[in-house]
Amino acid sequence: MIRAGRRIGIRKLREARTLIRIGSTSPQETALRLALTTGTGLPAYEGGYHRTDRRRWAKDIDRYQAYTGAGWRVVRITAEHLRRPGEPARRVREALRQAGWRGA
Protein backbone atom coordinates (compact mmCIF):
# COMPACT_ATOMS: atom_id res chain seq x y z
CA MET A 1 0.00 0.00 0.00
CA ILE A 2 2.80 2.41 0.86
CA ARG A 3 4.64 1.72 -2.38
CA ALA A 4 1.49 2.45 -4.38
CA GLY A 5 2.12 6.17 -3.89
CA ARG A 6 -0.19 9.03 -2.99
CA ARG A 7 -3.44 8.13 -1.31
CA ILE A 8 -5.68 9.28 1.50
CA GLY A 9 -4.21 8.24 4.84
CA ILE A 10 -0.69 7.53 3.57
CA ARG A 11 0.90 9.54 6.38
CA LYS A 12 -0.92 7.53 9.04
CA LEU A 13 -0.01 4.32 7.26
CA ARG A 14 3.68 5.28 7.23
CA GLU A 15 3.52 6.20 10.92
CA ALA A 16 1.76 2.94 11.79
CA ARG A 17 4.48 0.98 9.97
CA THR A 18 7.10 2.34 12.40
CA LEU A 19 5.05 1.07 15.37
CA ILE A 20 4.81 -2.54 14.20
CA ARG A 21 6.81 -5.15 16.10
CA ILE A 22 7.34 -8.47 14.35
CA GLY A 23 6.30 -11.36 16.56
CA SER A 24 3.89 -9.37 18.69
CA THR A 25 0.58 -11.21 18.52
CA SER A 26 -1.05 -9.72 21.59
CA PRO A 27 -3.26 -6.65 21.15
CA GLN A 28 -2.92 -6.01 24.89
CA GLU A 29 0.87 -6.08 24.75
CA THR A 30 0.78 -3.69 21.82
CA ALA A 31 -1.65 -1.32 23.55
CA LEU A 32 0.48 -1.23 26.71
CA ARG A 33 3.73 -0.83 24.76
CA LEU A 34 2.32 2.09 22.78
CA ALA A 35 0.80 3.74 25.86
CA LEU A 36 4.10 3.56 27.73
CA THR A 37 6.47 4.40 24.88
CA THR A 38 4.76 6.60 22.30
CA GLY A 39 5.90 10.14 22.91
CA THR A 40 7.16 9.40 26.43
CA GLY A 41 10.83 8.72 25.75
CA LEU A 42 10.57 5.41 27.61
CA PRO A 43 12.15 2.30 26.04
CA ALA A 44 10.00 -0.58 24.82
CA TYR A 45 9.78 -3.51 27.20
CA GLU A 46 10.37 -7.11 26.24
CA GLY A 47 7.80 -9.43 24.76
CA GLY A 48 7.65 -13.20 24.87
CA TYR A 49 10.47 -13.64 22.37
CA HIS A 50 12.93 -12.37 24.99
CA ARG A 51 12.29 -15.47 27.07
CA THR A 52 12.78 -17.83 24.12
CA ASP A 53 16.10 -16.36 22.97
CA ARG A 54 18.62 -17.25 25.69
CA ARG A 55 21.14 -14.57 24.71
CA ARG A 56 18.47 -11.86 24.58
CA TRP A 57 17.09 -12.94 27.96
CA ALA A 58 20.58 -12.89 29.54
CA LYS A 59 21.15 -9.36 28.18
CA ASP A 60 17.79 -8.28 29.59
CA ILE A 61 18.68 -9.61 33.03
CA ASP A 62 22.04 -7.83 32.92
CA ARG A 63 20.29 -4.63 31.87
CA TYR A 64 17.78 -4.89 34.75
CA GLN A 65 20.68 -5.38 37.16
CA ALA A 66 22.30 -2.21 35.80
CA TYR A 67 19.01 -0.32 36.19
CA THR A 68 18.64 -1.29 39.83
CA GLY A 69 22.31 -0.57 40.45
CA ALA A 70 21.71 2.94 39.13
CA GLY A 71 18.77 3.39 41.49
CA TRP A 72 15.98 2.69 39.02
CA ARG A 73 12.93 0.65 39.86
CA VAL A 74 11.81 -1.82 37.19
CA VAL A 75 8.06 -2.38 36.84
CA ARG A 76 7.17 -5.51 34.91
CA ILE A 77 3.68 -6.21 33.63
CA THR A 78 2.29 -9.57 32.49
CA ALA A 79 -0.88 -10.55 30.66
CA GLU A 80 -2.37 -11.50 34.04
CA HIS A 81 -1.83 -7.94 35.28
CA LEU A 82 -3.50 -6.57 32.15
CA ARG A 83 -6.62 -8.59 32.93
CA ARG A 84 -7.01 -6.63 36.18
CA PRO A 85 -8.39 -3.18 35.34
CA GLY A 86 -6.04 -0.44 36.50
CA GLU A 87 -3.33 -2.83 37.71
CA PRO A 88 -0.56 -1.70 35.31
CA ALA A 89 -1.19 1.95 36.17
CA ARG A 90 -1.32 1.12 39.88
CA ARG A 91 2.07 -0.60 39.70
CA VAL A 92 3.68 2.28 37.82
CA ARG A 93 2.09 4.85 40.15
CA GLU A 94 3.35 2.90 43.20
CA ALA A 95 6.89 2.81 41.83
CA LEU A 96 6.80 6.54 41.08
CA ARG A 97 5.52 7.36 44.58
CA GLN A 98 8.20 5.22 46.18
CA ALA A 99 10.69 7.27 44.21
CA GLY A 100 9.26 10.50 45.61
CA TRP A 101 6.65 11.46 43.01
CA ARG A 102 3.71 13.36 44.50
CA GLY A 103 1.43 13.47 41.43
CA ALA A 104 -2.17 12.32 41.09
With a cut of 90, say whether residue 37 has pLDDT above it: no
pTM strictly above 0.85:
no
pLDDT band at 47 (very low <50, low <70, confident <90, very high): low
What share of the chain in percent tops pLDDT 70?
85
- The pLDDT score that the predictor gives to residue 104 is 54
Name which residue leads in pLDDT, 65 or 42. Answer: 65
Contact, 95 vs 71, CB < 8 A? no
| Residue from 50, 52, 49 nearest 62 by CA | 50
Contact, 28 vs 82, CB < 8 A? yes
- The pLDDT score that the predictor gives to residue 16 is 76
- The pLDDT score that the predictor gives to residue 70 is 92
Which tens digit of pLDDT belongs to each residue from 3-12?
777 788 888 8
